[in-house]
Chain A
Amino acid sequence: EPEVTQTPSHQVTQMGQEVILRCVPISNHLYFYWYRQILGQKVEFLVSFYNNEISEKSEIFDDQFSVERPDGSNFTLKIRSTKLEDSAMYFCASRGQETQYFGPGTRLLVL
């Protein structure tokens, strides 16, 4: 069964450093998403992406964040200058019809 994959599973970085989180969506899906879950809190929408552009972004998704589909298979989330409060689990999802399928997540820890 097709699945969404994410790398790395864990990332530790220093405050102010850039990180890139990678996702491989399900191959025939056209809509892609990033969500995050701060420890002990609810899952929050960050951004949606369709046809090589952002279709919607949340207030969380400020200028420090960017997304890209560089090669037709990968879907990346970049945080330019990480802050302590960016520490969270980041989930990628891709959508087929009305259902979103989630990857296993990347746990980001900013020190």
Chain B
Amino acid sequence: AQSVTQLGSHVSVSEGALVLLRCNYSSSVPPYLFWYVQYPNQGLQLLLKYTTGATLVKGINGFEAEFKKSETSFHLTKPSAHMSDAAEYFCAVSAWMDSSYKLIFGSGTRLLVRP
């Protein structure tokens, strides 16, 4: 079975500060990993993904994440937070070995950006 743990339901940073959102996963097979962002009253937008190949992946809006197999982690970072980054962020792992490729989500981290 696969699972995702996101440490910290809320993270608060100052504008211009480093953003670090933590995600750890459990998977019996090489995982496909995703970060989605949800702005208030909107759907889930893909930020970035890791499937195979380069372990440092870059996404939209200046975000990036690094797949670390030894740590079973896929933390999301951004060097400098912007007010518009305030949203909820979800880490997910794909059950690609099943026929469905369903996504299993973490509980989410709400990012607050202080002026």
Q: Which residues of A approach B to under 8 Å, CB–CB? A: 4, 31, 33, 35, 41-45, 48, 50, 55-56, 91, 93, 95, 98-105
Contact = CB atoms under 8 A, between A and B. Distances in A.
Nearest to B106: A42
Given A42-B108, A99-B49, A48 B101 contact: yes
Contact of B94 (A43, A98, A103): A98
23 contacts: A4-B43, A31-B100, A33-B103, A42-B90, A42-B106, A42-B107, A42-B108, A43-B92, A44-B105, A48-B101, A50-B99, A55-B100, A56-B98, A56-B99, A56-B100, A93-B44, A93-B103, A98-B51, A98-B96, A102-B36, A102-B43, A104-B42, A104-B43
Nearest to A105: B43
A36 to B, nearest CB: 11
B102 A48 contact: yes
B104 A45 contact: yes
Nearest to B9: A40
Nearest to A33: B102
Dominant SS at the A interface? strand
Interface residues of B, number: 25
A44 B105 CA distance: 7
B45 interface: yes
A98 B102 CA distance: 10
Contacts of B51: 98
Contacts of A43: 44, 90, 92, 103, 105, 108
Contacts of B106: 42
